Structure 1
Amino acid sequence: MTDPQIAIAMLAIFILCIFFGFPVAFTLMGMAVIFGYYAYFNPDRQWRAYERAVESGDAGSLELAGEWLGGFLNNNIFNLFVNQTYSVMTNDVLTAIPLFLFMGYVVERANIVTRLFETLYITAKNLPGAMAVAALATCAMFATATGIIGAVVTLMGMLALPSMLKARYDVSFAAGVICAGGCLGILIPPSIMLIVYAATSNVSIVKLYAGALFPGFLLAGLYMIYVVGRAWLNPALAPKPPVVEGEQPLGTGQVIYMLATSFFPLAFLILSVLGAILFGLATPSEAASIGALGGLLLAVAYRSLTWDRLRESVYLTVRTSAMVCWMFVGSWTFSSVFSYLGGENLIEEFVLGMNLSPIMFLIMAQLIIFLLGWPLEWSEIIIIFVPIFLPLLPHFGIDPLFFGILIALNLQTSFLTPPMAMAAYYLKGVAPRGVELTQIFKGVFPYLGMILLSMVLLYSFPQIAFWLPEQVYGR
């Protein structure tokens, strides 16, 4: 076999291992070291050590055995592995990940979401499907603050779904709102996924955040229009609450007070972090540290900061950050070996030989990412497989910023597409008894159509992504 063929075999074996359920980060590192040893092996060092042992006539001595073993271990793959580990640990962009995660976990445990959902429901009470509108808005804000899909869907599944079912909402309609809204944190800044993509593609995270802002609002707006429109056209999906005799509606002052104590603090925290990044007042890491401090202050203000909650937030932050960082170590080492063996050039020649147009290349790339979203998490797709496409972008004249935002839109589908729709499984795990998985799947299908529509709109009108970065930072 030639070296490029071995590189392709290396990728195929890795994918097979993932399907068998092996841990991704350690599989990457193990495959990189095994195949890297072959790629960087220098037989001359071994022969020289062996010849010295034979010439001395004492090939069994511990000293010469150690020398021979040293020659065996003197392979550049180990130097590469150490260097990649050091590069990941000193990457300024990746420093923001644990800080944003900590902010999210603290906010999640500060009991803000319950107040936020109740307030938004009261505020939107006159809209069709008011409770679904409130659930979607709460999901969007909470997903933006945390960026942790499982946490958002699970918490909103325990909080909002029982309330909507009690109000006689259609099961599929209610479930779809929570699943789709909980995934918006992948796209809307400050998104952890965009930080990972920026570190992988060397795109400015500040410009990436600016470019993702309008597409994120576009997708959230399409969701909101769908929810209100469906509830207006078919009131049976989301019945209005019955009027209770003698019940006094809340006054304007009371509603403003509820907004001031639930909606505005979290909105101010998110906007402060995002504004500091977009306007160049702070780096992403500095803004993330502000957000982490703000999350702690919110928890103190709501009297929900306890030692156990703080310790749990720190533990979850460390665990998730370690997973992402070690995945980066394995991925960068794996991709270095893959490229050194010529696998990257082989794929590039194959794709270019297909004579694809830019739109056909984008469709092919997004289709592959869509399919990878069934068995893999977004972090694995971004860190492992997206770098395969990045060298091809200049050949098709595609901006990596635009490509990244398309991927962020596409990855919404990986959490919503049956049979591996993880958002649906998160919700099923906490849903009241009687809610079937098929009902949840039925509820998320319309949102897949809206994601596809938003991707078509973004490709047709790329200024949706480019306008804000160009206005703020220039070309």
Structure 2
Amino acid sequence: MEYLSLYLFAAVCLLLMLGYPVALTLAGTALAFAAGGILAGVFDAGFLNALPGRIFGTINNFTLVAVPLFILMGNILEKSKIAEELLDSMARAFGGLRGGLGISVVVVGMLLAASTGIVGATVVTMGLLSLPTMLRNNYSPSLAAGTICATGTLGQIIPPSIALVLLGDVLANAYQQAQLSMNVFQPKTISVGDLFVGALIPGLILVALYILYILVYSTLKPEAAPPADETRLDLGKLLKGLLPPLVLITVVLGSILVGAATPTEAAGIGAIGALILAYAKGQMDLARLREAVINTMEVTCMVFLILLGAALFSLVFRGFGGEELIHGFFHSLPGGVMGATLVVMVAIFLLGFILDFIEITYVVVPIVGPILLAMGLDPIWLGVMIAINLQTSFLTPPFGFALFYLRGVAPESLPTSAIYRGVVPFIIIQLLLIMALWAWPEMATWLPAQMKQ
């Protein structure tokens, strides 16, 4: 019977590849398999009794309130053109350097990624704002495209990230399940804030490596990243564009790091702060606010509908014995916990071609997370590894989501092959970071441990 769980998983992947809606596919396929299993006498209908409790737990989860608030914060910053003003100021500051425009894109993209936390929003915004400027200044099309795509995926790892909020919530539950399975009756837990702290150092290292690559590339190939035409530095304008979003993100993230606010409370501060900034700059009116709120509502509804569909899917998957099947498979792998982790990372990387981070977080991680954590992995390290792994997957040709987002807003004169060539060096950088994290888990675990002392 447990092999039916694999057929369920395969059916969901197939339907998603055919383009059916994610949330309805998860819930509908699970219900169809459950009904068939009940009629065949191989599925216990009692498993479905837990569904109302799971739905209520999802809707009543205080941590997940941070999701719409962070989305609203990012929407307001985008609609108020704060990112556009910041990019213009940074371009004037660094444009006189070879590769200066690329560095500006990385820095602004990092701040935008921290504020929106959504890969698609960051790639599209940076593509519309910076790609025409880079091409107009005779940047190599592949370098320009690769920089924008790679910067857009920083929303997976730079806190405060929606991906980390969802991943932290799932891993906290998985960690408690793992400890209870080991007869630990006073289980420890982790929080979303712990995952934010753990992702901080790897995220900043990744940004630094991006900038270093652009500097080296522009030095070796000066014609690929020439200085910008307009490089008049206006310090006042630079500070005016840089300080407000930087202060906002510092307050949001800093309040979490020092323990003054939970991620949900910090998200509320961020949303209100973004609104104040937008009104102070005269870039927010009722029409723009309405558009930001409606977009926030649409994305939030999509996220929570996926969570409910994933809750039903994971329940039926466990009802068919899928968790025991995977548990036995992991323990039979050579290499123990590291062998099992490698298999999971490869599987998540491949699933990142067809599933968004929300589906993977709420479908795959609840299945494999408790097993890996019960085998002794640190939950913060595992969360950071999954986030960077997904970031790499979203960047990898030919199916990476970031590539599709940029292709949708790039001019037809930019060939798709140039986009593919441009992201390869950044993929290598991300793989190097994954290997470094594998070799030195302290990159993710040291700072959270210090913060708790």
TM-score, normalized by length of structure 2? 0.91
Aligned to 1:58: none
Offset at residue 359 of structure 1 (A): 2.9
Amino acid in structure 1 at the alignment position of 2:4: I
The alignment status of 1:335 with 2:341, answered yes or no, reads no
Offset at residue 287 of structure 1 (A): 0.7
Amino acid in structure 1 at the alignment position of 2:80: A
Offset at residue 284 of structure 1 (A): 1.1
Instruction: Quote the RMSD (CA, aligned, Å).
Output: 2.0
Aligned to 2:436: 457
Asked if structure 2 preserves the Cα contact closer than 8 Å seen for 1:393 and 1:399, the reply is no
Aligned to 1:30: 28
Asked if structure 2 preserves the Cα contact closer than 8 Å seen for 1:40 and 1:77, the reply is no
- Within a 5 Å distance, the mapping from 1:105-254 to structure 2 comes to 105-202=75-172, 203-241=190-228, 249-250=232-233, 254=234
Asked if structure 2 preserves the Cα contact closer than 8 Å seen for 1:80 and 1:333, the reply is no
Asked if structure 1 preserves the Cα contact closer than 8 Å seen for 2:101 and 2:228, the reply is no
Give percent identity, aligned residues only.
38
CA distance in 2 between partners of 1:208 and 1:335 (Å)? 23
CA distance in 2 between partners of 1:262 and 1:336 (Å)? 48
CA distance in 2 between partners of 1:11 and 1:157 (Å)? 35
The alignment status of 1:265 with 2:244, answered yes or no, reads yes
Structure 2 portions without partners, runs of 5+: 173-189
Amino acid in structure 2 at the alignment position of 1:415: F
The alignment status of 1:92 with 2:70, answered yes or no, reads no
CA distance in 2 between partners of 1:175 and 1:427 (Å)? 8
- Greater shift, 305-314 or 357-366, is seen at 357-366
- Greater shift, 153-162 or 215-224, is seen at 153-162
CA distance in 1 between partners of 2:205 and 2:342 (Å)? 21
Offset at residue 77 of structure 1 (A): 5.8
Amino acid in structure 2 at the alignment position of 1:22: Y
Offset at residue 394 of structure 1 (A): 3.6
CA distance in 2 between partners of 1:94 and 1:415 (Å)? 23
1:183 partner SS: helix
CA distance in 1 between partners of 2:23 and 2:51 (Å)? 13
CA distance in 1 between partners of 2:423 and 2:431 (Å)? 13
- The higher radius of gyration belongs to 1
1:355 partner SS: coil
Counterpart selection for 1:325 from 304, 308, 332: 304
Residues 31-66 of structure 1 deviation map (CA, whole Å, 9 limit, x = unaligned): 3333344667899xxxxxxxxxxxxxxxxxxxxxxx
Amino acid in structure 1 at the alignment position of 2:60: T
Asked if structure 1 preserves the Cα contact closer than 8 Å seen for 2:157 and 2:203, the reply is yes
Asked if structure 2 preserves the Cα contact closer than 8 Å seen for 1:36 and 1:77, the reply is no
CA distance in 2 between partners of 1:372 and 1:296 (Å)? 37
CA distance in 1 between partners of 2:63 and 2:245 (Å)? 24
Asked if structure 2 preserves the Cα contact closer than 8 Å seen for 1:42 and 1:75, the reply is no
- Greater shift, 351-360 or 102-111, is seen at 351-360
- Greater shift, 134-143 or 75-84, is seen at 75-84
Amino acid in structure 1 at the alignment position of 2:22: V
Asked if structure 2 preserves the Cα contact closer than 8 Å seen for 1:413 and 1:448, the reply is yes
CA distance in 1 between partners of 2:36 and 2:354 (Å)? 29
Residues 167-225 of structure 1 deviation map (CA, whole Å, 9 limit, x = unaligned): 11111011111110111011010010011111212141111110000000011111110
Amino acid in structure 2 at the alignment position of 1:225: L
Amino acid in structure 1 at the alignment position of 2:31: V
Provide closer, same or farther for how the CA distance between residues 210 and 78 of structure 1 changes in structure 2, counting only shifts above 3 A.
same
Asked if structure 2 preserves the Cα contact closer than 8 Å seen for 1:161 and 1:174, the reply is yes
Amino acid in structure 1 at the alignment position of 2:361: I
Offset at residue 78 of structure 1 (A): 5.6
1:95 partner SS: helix
Provide closer, same or farther for how the CA distance between residues 115 and 312 of structure 1 changes in structure 2, counting only shifts above 3 A.
same
CA distance in 1 between partners of 2:242 and 2:91 (Å)? 12
Aligned to 1:403: 382
TM-score, normalized by length of structure 1? 0.87
- Within a 5 Å distance, the mapping from 1:382-393 to structure 2 comes to 382-393=361-372
Amino acid in structure 1 at the alignment position of 2:370: P
1:282 partner SS: coil
